Amino acid sequence: MRSLFLALACLLASSTAWAKLQVVTTTTDLKWLAEQVGGDLVEVESLSSGGQDLHFVEPRPSMVMKVKRADVLVRIGLDLDMWADSLVSASRNKKVVYGAPGYVDASVGVERLQIPTDKVDAGMGDLHVFGNPHYWLDPSNASIIADNILEGLVRAEPAKEAAFKENYWKLLRALTEKLKEWEKKAAPLKGVKVVTYHNSWVYFAKRFGLELFGNIEPKPGLPPSPSHVNKLIAMMKEKGAGIIMAESYFPLKGARMVADKTGARLVVVPSSAGGLPGVRTYFDVFDQVLDALLDARGGKP
């Protein structure tokens, strides 16, 4: 009898899960934002973890099943998560193919930075033809991302539009509060000279007024070469860059060496929810990064 109840409970739980709109995202930040907009009406899975380099996610068959079940796919776009294309093809899910109502490119409407204006080729490293794709690292872009997600959810489930909109506005109110808090907190960082490992913090720097003047990578995606590192060290000494930012997944040997030679502080930061222990949400990412930068600058977080 007990087994029967258990089986019924499982059946009920699974049917409730399936009644929810199934959303799959390519990143954990998009997952968190989709959960905020979808609320209890959606079930969201991310194809990558927060500690992964999003240029380097290996598509695998188990991910195909997540995409196959999805009503909505939310992706970063701008050719960052191109690995998702092979998963969509393999899943044969008509609902989430490019152009279908369940396909959400979160970058639509974002003001893109560093759009190449000349010929692009592999000699320039892993350059993205549509501009720098790390736009979610400007938290004000979360409103645009959330808007794209909202539209996708409404297309997939028009009957629940009112509930989605209510969640969306709740998220925007929370975001407004957090933006005020982060702007205030980041005030001492204005004009601070920062070197980053990869060219991924331009949106963040623009939002909070940091001055970026170099990367540990000589060109996007390439490993640091001795000549580049030497040049960078000389520049950092000359210009007084005191902070090096590196995402938690990058190899830190080169960055540590530069830090040692220049006296700069190496700050290991998450670039997505789940990127470091304790960084569970998209908002946590900015809390953590700003605290770490303030700490490195010598001010209290």
Partner 1 sequence: MMNALLILSALLALPASAEDPSFTTGTMETAAPPQGMRGRPINLPDISVIGVMDGHLSDYKPDTAKDKFEFEEVETAFQGFIYPEVRADVFLALHKHGAKYEAELCEAKASFLRLSEGLAAEVGKIHVNFGKLNKMHTHHRPMIDQPPVLTNFLGEHGLVGQGGTASYLLPLPFYLQAEAGAWQGEGHEHEASGKTTVVDTAGNTVEVPIYQESAEFSLADKVFTGRLKASFAPTDKSELELGSSLAAGHGAHWEEHQDEAKVYGADLTFKLWPSSYERWAFQNEYFHLTRTVPAGRLQRDGLYSFLNYRWNKYWDTGARFDYAEGAFPTQSIERALSALVGYHFTETTRALVQYKYRRINGGTVNEGWLQLAFGLGPHSHELE
Q: Residues interacting with partner 1, by CB under 8 A?
A: 49, 51-53, 56, 58-62, 64-65, 68, 75, 77-79, 85-87, 89-94, 97-101, 103-109, 122, 126, 129-130, 140, 143-144, 147-148, 150-152, 154-155, 165, 168-169, 172-173, 175-176, 179-180, 221, 223, 249, 251
Do residues 114 and 99 touch, judged by C-beta distance below 8 A?
A: no
Nearer to partner 1, 175 or 264 (CB): 175
Decide whether 198 or 212 has the Cβ nearer to partner 1: 198
First to last CA, the chain: 57
As a whole number of angstroms, the distance between CA 23 and CA 73 comes to 6
Q: How far is the CB of 271 from partner 1 (least distance, A)?
A: 11
Comparing CB distances to partner 1, the nearer of 217 and 241 is 217
Residue 240 DSSP class: T
CB nearer partner 1, residue 197 or residue 201: 197
Q: Which is nearer to partner 1, 168 or 208 (CB)?
A: 168
Query: At closest approach, how far in Å is the CB of 293 from partner 1?
Result: 22
HSE of 223, CA atoms in CB hemisphere, 13 A: 5
Residue 111 CB, shortest distance to partner 1, in Å, is: 8
For residues 259 and 224, the answer to whether their CB atoms sit within 8 Å is no
> CB of 204: closest distance to partner 1 in angstroms?
15
At residue 44's C-alpha, the angle toward residues 42 and 50, to 5°, is 150
Q: Are 72 and 31 in contact (CB under 8 A)?
A: no
Q: In the complex with partner 1, which residue's Cβ is closer, 69 or 193?
A: 69
CB of 1 to partner 1, least distance (A): 27
- Residue 164's CB is within 10 A of a number of other CB atoms, namely 24
Per 3-state DSSP, the chain is made up of helix, strand and coil in percentages (nearest 5) of: 55, 10, 35
Beta carbon nearer to partner 1, 57 or 296: 57
In the complex, the smallest distance separating the C-beta of residue 193 from partner 1, rounded to whole angstroms, is 26
Check if the beta carbon of residue 28 is closer than 8 Å to that of residue 49.
yes
Q: Which residue has the tokens 């998009």?
A: 30
CB of 282 to partner 1, least distance (A): 15
CA distance 272 to 269: 9
